[in-house]
Amino acid sequence: MFIGDWMGRGALYWPEHMAVVDVAKGDAGRFTYRALNARAEALGGWLRDVAGVKPGERVGLVAHNGVEYLDALFACGKIGAIFVPYNWRLHAQELTDLVRDTTPRVLLYGDDFHDSVAQVKERLGDALRLVHLETKGLPGSMPYAETLLHQPAAPVVNAQVDAEDILCLLFTGGTTGRSKGAKVSYRMVAWNTLNTLVHEVRPGDVTITHTPMFHTGGLLVYTVPLLTAGGTVVIMRRWDPEELLTLLEREKVTLFFAVPTQYQQLHDAPRFRETDFSRVRFMTSGGAPMPVPLIQAWQAVHSVPFKQGFGMTEFGPGLFSMGPEFAISKAGSIGRPNYFIDAKLVDDDGREVPVGEVGELVLKGPSMCSGYFNDEAATKEAIDAQGWLHTGDLARRDADGFFTIAGRKKDMFISGGENVYPLELETALYEHPAVQQCAVVGVPDAKWGEVGRAFVVLKPDAAAAPEELLAHLRERVARFKVPKKVELLERMPVSAAGKILKRELRQAAIAADARGQEQGR
């Protein structure tokens, strides 16, 4: 089987190399490629022989990060099933809706989600077979440890696998509405891995996976590419900056990915200055542009290169990459398209925009998803007749071919007839020394149609009044772009991927304005 059996190949080429370190399991959480393959063989055999899972059927999982994500992914690859990891932050009703939509034959779950899964089971009935990963099993639930003891009677292989078959469903971030399940094919994973090998990783690299593994950032950014190249993946159960710094030294980490908020937390952690970064080749920032002041603060202590990247669930996710040599000179840019990615910027009529102008980012290439699961309307809306995926991201391209995100189409607002891109204002706000996090949204305004509202979290022990921050913006952007108001917050609402939830900020601002108008009557 030339695709689909990652651990079968890993056990053949690097049997005794360390594949995975599941930190939460202590010494018992260290798995060679041979051991990881044995786990996938046993689980795959149990799913096929005992649970009756057939090719194309789904296997769900709701749990915190752990080696079980990889067991399930690789087991599904061996038998042609589709792995469906669910967002553990979902409300029980939301989880029920997704499980109903995706109809898994088996659902694996961790102790922390016992109650939510009980509600799912109650609403969906006995057709759903349950497997508990730890000790807190529901009535009729199968202990996960027993599945790993299964001895398949026949080889656990999917001889009929095709590159266009679907390996897993990964759900979009869901920060702007209900999540959609992107269909991730073997072809998509293979080409994303190739792009990642060209631009990022080397055989033998060691990374830390801390992003939730139900998210493309946890599963496909570095985890699967490294496990295709004989590397090592250190899995953190949950994000913790102090623990990451400890693991970075102990496990001899060579690269890792995080979002700017997390880099700020690492910088502020007590043991940051004493941590040895000498083995780290580079760090990648994604999710939002890395503020230059934060890069400079890191460089003042540790001269580790930063690479800015950009990706999305529906495409790879690896789309753009920028070498560390451009981290300052091209600050704010997401870099240039990866080797096997075609990208262009178009206007609302589909015409390419000139260099320097803002247009919607559209993409084409072999690492694109196969549309959305059971949602043809969303698929047709996203992928046009020529095969271009319309991202909804607005961007500019400079004369050197570097792309810079200007914002989301849905984030952009029109104030007095002028387009305003929140990302431009956020970038300017980050230049203020007191600003740790910020977000700008458009809110309704009787005079201008919409105006900006800025939300700011200040750095510890820093002080800045809202008017000072507005004055800072007036010195840097056109007056019509300056938000009407700045609100100081103790913390930002963020998604599981660490992205600021602008929808929640906007809804809260509109509700507060409505209450204020009511009280003023």
Q: Which residue has the higher pLDDT, 503 or 467?
A: 467
pLDDT in the model for residue 1: 53
Q: Does the pLDDT at position 288 exceed 80?
A: no
Backbone angles phi, psi at 325, to 5 degrees: -65, -15
- Low-confidence winner among 253-267, 408-422, 502-516 (lowest mean pLDDT): 408-422
Q: What are phi and psi of 349, to 5 degrees?
A: -100, 5
Q: Is the pLDDT of residue 492 over 80?
A: yes
Per-residue confidence (pLDDT) for residue 176, from 0 to 100: 41
Q: What is the pLDDT of residue 467?
A: 97
Q: Which of 324, 253, 322, 256 is nearest to 295 (CA)?
A: 324
Average pLDDT over residues 70-96: 93
Q: What pLDDT does residue 260 have?
A: 85
Confidence of residue 496 (pLDDT cuts 50, 70, 90): low
Q: Confidence class of residue 174 from pLDDT cuts 50, 70 and 90? A: very low
Q: Where are the alpha helices (DSSP H) in 291-401?
A: 292-299, 376-382
Average pLDDT score over residue span 396-402: 96
Q: Is the preceding omega at residue 337 within 30 degrees of 0, hence cis?
A: no
Q: How many helices (H) and strands (E) does the chain have?
A: 16, 25
Cα of 48 vs its chain's centroid, Å: 30
Enumerate domains of the chain plus CATH numbers.
1-274 (3.40.50.12780), 332-409 (2.30.38.10), 411-519 (3.30.300.30)
Question: What 8-state DSSP symbol labels residue 29?
Answer: G
> For residue range 361-385, what is the model confidence (pLDDT) as tens digits?
999 999 999 999 999 999 999 999 9
CB proximity list for 138: less than 8 A, separation 6 or greater = 114, 117, 118, 121, 130, 132
Spatial separation of the C-alpha atoms in residues 408 and 185, rounded to whole Å = 27
What percent of the chain stands above pLDDT 70?
Answer: 98
Confidence of residue 175 (pLDDT cuts 50, 70, 90): very low
| 137 three-class SS | coil
Summarize pLDDT for 400-438 with one digit per residue, the tens.
Answer: 999 998 877 778 888 877 778 888 899 899 999 999 999
Instruction: List all residues 6 or more positions away from 273 whose beta carbon is below 8 Å from its beta carbon.
Output: 301
pLDDT at residue 2, rounded to an integer: 64
Average pLDDT over residues 497-511: 87
Phi/psi of residue 184, nearest 5 degrees = -100, 115
101 closest CA partner among 165, 14, 179, 32: 179
Q: Which pLDDT belongs to residue 3?
A: 79
Most confident listed range (32-36, 447-451, 459-463) = 32-36
Residue 178, pLDDT score: 62
Instruction: Check residues 424 and 252 and name the one with the higher pLDDT.
Output: 252
Q: Which of the four pLDDT bands, split at 50, 70 and 90, describes residue 298?
A: very high
Nearest to 93 by CA among 71, 125, 74, 119: 119
Residue 496's identity, in one-letter code, is A
Angle between helices 260-268 and 292-299 (to 10 degrees): 40
Sequence-ordered alpha helix ranges (H) in 67-185:
67-79, 92-102, 114-124, 144-147
Burial of 485 (0-12, 13-18, 19+ CB in 10 A): middle
Phi, psi of 237 (to 5 degrees): -65, -45
Q: Cα separation of 315 and 331, whole Å?
A: 24
Whether the pLDDT of residue 331 is over 70: the answer is: yes
- What number is the average pLDDT over the span 71-93? 94
**Paired tokens of 68:** 């079980």
Q: DSSP secondary structure string, 306-353?
A: EEEEEEETTEEEEEEEE-GGGTTTTTT--BEE-TT-EEEEE-TTSPBP
Alpha-carbon gap, residue 100 to 91, rounded angstroms: 14
Rounded distance between C-alpha atoms, residue 17 and residue 330, angstroms: 38
Q: Lowest-confidence range among 116-125, 197-206, 361-370, 443-452?
A: 443-452
Q: Which of 373, 314, 276, 331 is nearest to 82 (CA)?
A: 373
Query: Dihedral through CA 7, CA 9, CA 11, CA 15, nearest 10?
Result: -120
Q: What angle do CA 245, 172, 240 make, to 5 degrees?
A: 15
Q: What mean pLDDT comes out for the span 498-502?
A: 83
